[in-house]
């Protein structure tokens, strides 16, 4: 087998060993912290993110902003805000965590503490009012737990914690007057583990808008006045930020403190759709497989029979093209590079999902998923190089240097270029989502110092390994290809075949998109795993079927076709993203739209490479298998 040939097995073991410390790397964030009474409990602040509320169920922006963006005028800690250390994945996914001036002490209730008074000039007022209207929310962290709002799910009649709380509220009037929340009631739930040792097990914040004033001595006069505060767009507005802290005992132990946050809105949707799609898919796959096997058996028996009888009867069907079926495809270099990158993506996604399934990527370690994705993709560069060079050698390619260079550069290069392009937009609007230069450089260093050499090493082993010999000889002169039926033309066959694997993933895809764009925690890796397996099965069966029909109609250009047929799922992923754009988002501003479409395009491209590779590899082994089983004189 291509994937499991000998040099690869020890290498895989080695890679897994290398990857193992990734988990250890995360353990510190996962260990509980014990506080004693009056110990300071730091409150950290993350970027402001757009979200939706029940009144306007459409997302209006995809940009996030630094908590200390000057226009927000949030109070700064002494000596200026300090950036907290974060993992690469967390930075890429937009976490920008800073310290804050809030002074929280374990078990010490406080009411109406003043943070600072700020002056909102008209420009800042307009900016903040716009963000309030777009449902921006604040994201705080206390002891690693996100500050949440308590919400009630009508469907399951249960309370749950929804991460983040709103920057402000708008009223029902026609003008949609925005009120900035300048007072925070912070409720911290604690759990006593041993006598005198406490742990934080829940954080709820109720923000409110108050027209607070302070006297000359800086003492808050009327913290609890009910009047709401609106930022004036024409003159400066003075705003005093205040907060109260309430420590409440809780029976929730530390180990299960995340449960309240991981609320499934309607678990039945997942089960229902999963079972639904699985049944359809398994049924289809089984049917296709059975038909194929039976027909093939008959074909093979007939072909071999003809041979024995020395019958003069003409050959028909796929046997006819035996002299062409292993002919080198057009652009073998491009195909092998795509297959190498696809194989790399395939093992990376598979391993990541298994890691997640085993619980290594708990939501409490921020950015763990993205970090693991990057680390695994980098390390599996070896595998990508190996598959690419082996495929290239099998195609009879000769420009091996080009193959070694192109494999680690082309697909990551495309991704990186789109990424940099989108990043310029983020920088342009001063969004905190813009990846800092340092992180960009780190990525490039990881790419060129680790991934490229690993890929080159993989290519070395791939070229050293023998090419996969075709089971039948290729004729000198290519056969004429007869006219093809309509359903086997490029576009119809792609559309027909692409929809099935997409059907397997689209429900999970919807939830993944929700979690990405609405900043929700995604953790349903069990569902994801099943979907992934179902997707692979569907993708390979359908592609094999199309390849079979293609060969039966004497078309031996199956290599690129199988890649594109399977890759066609990406078209549906893109269409799905567009539908989502239309139904769930009403993004204001060019930048949000460009970003959304850009990232969707990026995702579709990766899906294309991944699925295409699955399709090609399964077709390859299928074609090998069937031509191996017939006798050819
Ligand atoms: C702090 O406030 C909470 C909520 O009002 C209350 O349940 C708790 O007993 C208070 N703790 C102390 C030490 O006063």
Kindly report, residue by residue over 230-256, the tens digit of the pLDDT: 999 999 998 989 999 999 999 999 888
What percent of the chain has pLDDT above 70?
90
Instruction: Give residue 292's pLDDT band: very low, low, confident or very high (50, 70, 90).
Output: confident
The neighbouring-strand residues paired with 242 are 114, 183
Whose CA is closest to atom 14 on ligand 1?
109
Residues listed for the chain: 633
Q: How far apart are CA 342 and CA 614, in angstroms?
A: 8
Residue 22, pLDDT score: 34
Give the pLDDT band of residue 566 (cuts 50, 70, 90).
very high
Q: Check pocket membership of 111 for ligand 1, CB cut-off 6 A.
A: no
Round to whole Å and give the CA distance between 146 and 140: 6
Rounded average pLDDT over 288-311: 76
Q: pLDDT at position 30, please?
A: 64
Mark 263-284 as b/e (b = at least 16 C-beta within 10 Å): bbeeeeebeebbeebbeebeeb
Check if the beta carbon of residue 596 is closer than 8 Å to that of residue 436. Answer: no
Closest to 205 in 3D by CA, of 140, 149, 265:
149
Q: Which two tokens stand for residue 409?
A: 């550069």
Strand bridging mode 183-194 / 237-249: parallel
What mean pLDDT is predicted for residues 175-179? 88
- Mean pLDDT value across residues 123-151: 93
* CA atoms within 13 A of residue 322's CA, in its CB half-sphere: 19
Ligand 1 and 247: CB distance under 6 A: yes
Q: Pick from 134-138, 335-339, 497-501 the range whose average pLDDT is largest.
A: 335-339
Contact 30, 87 (CB under 8 A): no
| 80-89 burial: b if 16+ Cβ within 10 Å, else e | ebeebebbbb
Query: How far, in Å, CA of 52 to CA of 358, rounded?
Result: 31
Q: Is 625 in the pocket of ligand 1 (CB under 6 A)?
A: no
Closest CA to ligand 1's atom 2: 246
Q: How far is the CA of 46 from the centre of ligand 1 (A)?
A: 27
For residue range 433-449, what is the model confidence (pLDDT) as tens digits? 899 999 999 999 999 99
Q: Is residue 456 within a helix (H) or strand (E), and if so which, with residue range?
A: helix 452-464
CB atoms within 10 A of CB 442: 15
Is residue 190 in contact with ligand 1, taking CB distance under 6 Å? no
**Residue 12: which H helix or E strand, with range?**
helix 8-19
Distance CA 371, CA 93 (A): 10
Residue ID of nearest Cα to ligand 1 atom 4: 246
How many other CB atoms are found less than 10 A from the CB of residue 309?
9
Can you tell me the mean pLDDT for 101-124?
Answer: 92
Confidence grade of residue 319 (pLDDT, cut at 50, 70, 90):
confident
Nearest to 340 by CA among 416, 417, 409: 409
Which of 326-340, 414-428, 526-540, 567-581 shows the lowest mean pLDDT across its residues? 526-540
Instruction: Output the 3-class SS for 424-445.
Output: HHHHHCCCCCCCCHHHHHHHHH
Residue 54 pLDDT: 58
- The CB of 627 under 6 Å from ligand 1? The reply is no
Confidence of residue 475 (pLDDT cuts 50, 70, 90): confident
Closest-lying ligand 1 atom to the alpha carbon of residue 187: 4
Can you tell me the distance from the alpha carbon of 457 to that of 110, in angstroms, rounded to the nearest whole number? 61
Q: Is 349 left (phi over 0), alpha (psi -120 to 50) or beta?
A: alpha
User: What share of the chain in percent tops pLDDT 90?
Assistant: 49
Pocket probe for ligand 1: among 109, 111, 187, the residue whose CB has the most ligand atoms within 8 Å is 109
The pLDDT assigned to 313 comes to: 52
Which atom of ligand 1 is the closest one to the Cα of 109? Answer: 1
Grade residue 527 by pLDDT with cuts at 50, 70 and 90.
confident
Q: What is the pLDDT of residue 76?
A: 95
d(C-alpha 336, C-alpha 550), whole Å:
21
Distance 45 CA to ligand 1 centre (A): 24
**Using one digit for the tens of pLDDT, what is the confidence trace for 208-223?**
998 877 666 666 666 7
CA of 388 to the centre of ligand 1 (A): 64
- Judged against a pLDDT cut of 60, whether residue 64 lies above it is answered with yes
In the reported structure, the alpha carbon of residue 609 is separated from the centroid of ligand 1 by a whole-number distance in angstroms of 57
CA of 110 to the centre of ligand 1 (A): 9
Q: For ligand 1, pick from 243, 246, 250, 251 the residue to mutate: most ligand atoms within 8 Å of CB.
A: 246
Q: Which one has a higher pLDDT value, 3 or 75?
A: 75
Q: Is 248 in the pocket of ligand 1 (CB under 6 A)?
A: yes
Atom of ligand 1 at shortest range from CA of 108: 13
Q: Are 115 and 45 in contact (CB under 8 A)?
A: no
pLDDT recorded at residue 419: 93
Q: Which residues contact 59 (CB under 8 A, 6 or more apart)?
A: 50, 51, 52, 517, 518, 584, 585, 586, 587
Average pLDDT taken over every residue of the chain? 86
pLDDT in tens, 367-424: 888 899 999 999 999 999 999 999 999 999 889 999 999 999 999 999 999 999 999 9
**HEC sequence for 236-282:** CEEEEEEEEEEEEECCCCHHHCCCCCCCCCCHHHHHHHHHHHHHHHH
Average pLDDT over residues 15-29: 37
Ligand 1 centre to CA of 167 (Å) is 26
d(CA 350, CA 269): 24
C-beta separation of 585 from 596 below 8 A? yes
| CB of 246 closer than 6 angstroms to any ligand 1 atom | yes
Sequence spans of domains, the chain: 32-256, 318-474+498-627
pLDDT score for 485: 85
- Predicted local distance difference test score (pLDDT) of residue 616: 97
Mean pLDDT within 168-174: 88
pLDDT at 36 > cutoff 80: yes
pLDDT for 248: 95
* Highest-scoring range by mean pLDDT, 83-87, 168-172, 458-462: 458-462
Handedness of CA 402, 371, 571, 417 (dihedral sign): negative
Among 336, 245, 284, 183, which Cα is nearest to 500's? Answer: 284
pLDDT of residue 29: 47
d(CA 521, CA 516): 8
- Residue with CA at minimum distance from ligand 1 atom 12: 109
Question: Do the beta carbons of residue 330 and residue 226 sit within 8 Å?
Answer: no
Span 478-522, pLDDT tens digits: 888 888 888 888 888 898 888 888 887 887 888 888 888 887 777
Confirm if 535 and 505 have CB atoms less than 8 A apart: yes
CA 107 to ligand 1: nearest atom:
13
Residue with the two structure tokens 């604040």: 138
Cα angle 347, 349, 355 (rounded to 5 degrees) comes to 100
* 328 in contact with ligand 1, CB cutoff 6 A: no
Nearest protein CA to atom 7 of ligand 1, as residue: 248
């Amino acid at each position: 087998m291509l994937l499991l040939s000998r040099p690869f097995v020890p290498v895989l073991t080695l890679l897994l060993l290398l990857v193992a410390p990734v988990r250890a790397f995360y353990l510190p964030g996962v260990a509980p912290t014990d506080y004693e009474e009056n110990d300071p409990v730091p409150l950290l602040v993350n970027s402001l993110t757009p979200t939706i509320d029940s009144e306007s169920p459409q997302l209006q922006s995809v940009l996030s902003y630094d908590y200390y963006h000057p226009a927000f005028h949030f109070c700064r800690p002494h000596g200026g805000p300090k950036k907290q250390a974060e993992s690469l994945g967390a930075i890429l996914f937009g976490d920008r965590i800073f310290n804050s001036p809030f002074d929280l002490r374990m078990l010490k209730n406080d009411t109406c503490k003043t943070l600072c008074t700020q002056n909102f000039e008209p420009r800042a007022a307009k900016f903040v009012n716009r963000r309030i209207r777009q449902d921006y929310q604040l994201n705080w962290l206390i002891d690693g737990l996100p500050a949440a709002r308590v919400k009630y799910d009508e469907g399951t009649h249960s309370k749950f914690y929804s991460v983040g709380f709103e920057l402000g509220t708008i009223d029902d009037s026609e003008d949609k007057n925005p009120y900035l929340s300048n007072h925070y009631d912070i409720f911290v739930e604690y759990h006593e583990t041993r006598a005198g040792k406490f742990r934080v097990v829940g954080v709820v914040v109720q923000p409110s808008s108050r027209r607070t004033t302070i006297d000359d001595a800086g003492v808050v006069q009327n913290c609890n006045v009910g009047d709401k505060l609106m930022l004036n767009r024409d003159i400066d507005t003075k705003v005093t930020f205040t907060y109260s802290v309430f420590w409440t005992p809780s029976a929730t132990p530390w180990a299960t403190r995340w449960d309240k946050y991981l609320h499934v809105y309607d678990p039945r949707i997942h089960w229902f759709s999963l079972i639904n799609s699985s049944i359809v898919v398994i049924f289809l796959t089984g049917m296709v497989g059975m038909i194929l096997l039976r027909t093939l058996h008959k074909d093979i028996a007939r072909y071999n029979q003809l041979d024995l009888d020395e019958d003069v009867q003409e050959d028909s069907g796929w046997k006819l093209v035996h002299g062409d079926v292993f002919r080198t495809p057009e652009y073998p270099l491009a195909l092998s590079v795509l297959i190498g990158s696809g194989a790399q993506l395939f093992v990376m996604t598979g391993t990541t999902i298994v890691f997640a399934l085993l619980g290594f990527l708990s939501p409490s370690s921020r950015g763990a998923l993205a970090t693991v994705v990057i680390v695994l993709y980098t390390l599996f560069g070896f595998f990508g190089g190996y598959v690419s060079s082996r495929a290239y050698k099998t195609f009879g390619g000769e420009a091996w240097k080009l193959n070694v260079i192109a494999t680690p550069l082309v697909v990551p290069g495309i991704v990186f270029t789109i990424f940099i392009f989108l990043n310029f937009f983020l920088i342009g609007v001063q969004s905190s989502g813009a990846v800092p230069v340092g992180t960009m450089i780190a990525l490039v260093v990881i790419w060129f110092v680790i991934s490229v050499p690993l890929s080159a090493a993989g290519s070395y082993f791939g070229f050293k390994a023998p090419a996969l010999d075709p089971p039948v000889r290729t004729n000198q002169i290519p056969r004429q290809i007869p006219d093809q039926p309509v359903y086997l033309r490029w576009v119809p066959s792609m559309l027909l075949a692409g929809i099935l694997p997409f059907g397997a993933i689209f429900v999970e895809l919807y939830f993944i998109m929700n979690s990405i764009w609405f900043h929700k925690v995604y953790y349903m890796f069990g569902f994801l795993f099943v979907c992934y397996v179902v997707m692979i099965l569907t993708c390979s069966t359908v592609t094999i079927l199309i390849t079979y029909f293609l060969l039966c109609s004497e078309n031996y250009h199956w290599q690129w076709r199988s890649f594109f047929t399977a890759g066609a799922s990406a078209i549906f992923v893109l269409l799905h993203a567009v539908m989502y754009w239309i139904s769930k988002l009403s993004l204001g501003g060019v930048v949000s739209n460009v970003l959304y479409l850009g990232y969707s395009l990026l995702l579709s491209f990766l899906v294309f490479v991944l699925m295409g590779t699955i399709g090609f590899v399964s077709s390859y082994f299928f074609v090998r298998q069937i031509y191996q089983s017939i006798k050819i004189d």
